[in-house]
Amino acid sequence: MTENTDSNPLEQALSAAKDNDQQSIRRALRAFVQSRVFVKLDQPWDGKSFPRSDMRLLFVSDGDNRERPMLAVFTSKAFCDIYAQAAAPFDYVAEVDAAWACLGVPGDAGIMVNPNSVPSFRIGPEVAGILREAAEKDVAEKSTPRNVNTAQD
């Protein structure tokens, strides 16, 4: 595993997360959903415009469970670069809100933050599904027109 000596608030929260400490895990999850993360793509994208429907995100295996897909997200561009050679044809990087990344997680998949690096963090399929549902709800609320009552004279 490769370790990055520079860190941002998300990396600090991930480093502090302990396997059996629910509070530190919750802090890491909270930091994750409030962060911008990097994803690797199979085609160029600016991370802002509407993505093409044929664009694919990089998925990795869940450690020894090679059958379970995990969306690979990275806390910095440096961690993307570490994973560059193993990721072909996913040669493109975009910075996105973590909530947006959660929208790309299928029901049977989880999320792996900084795969094969330190700090890393595993979000299992059940929790990834909860995060995806929360992101979907947020998108739906933001896209629903609000009724504005106007007083008529």
User: What is the C-alpha to C-alpha distance for residues 111 and 104, in angstroms, rounded to an integer?
Assistant: 10
pLDDT tens-place string over residues 77-124: 999 888 776 667 898 999 999 999 999 999 899 999 999 889 999 999
User: What is the C-alpha to C-alpha distance for residues 66 and 102, in angstroms, rounded to an integer?
Assistant: 20
Q: Classify burial at 120, counting beta carbons within 10 Å of its beta carbon; exposed 0-12, middle 13-18, buried 19 or more.
A: middle
- pTM summary value: 0.84
Q: How confident is the model at residue 57 (pLDDT cuts 50, 70, 90)?
A: very high
Q: Which pLDDT does position 140 carry in this prediction? A: 85
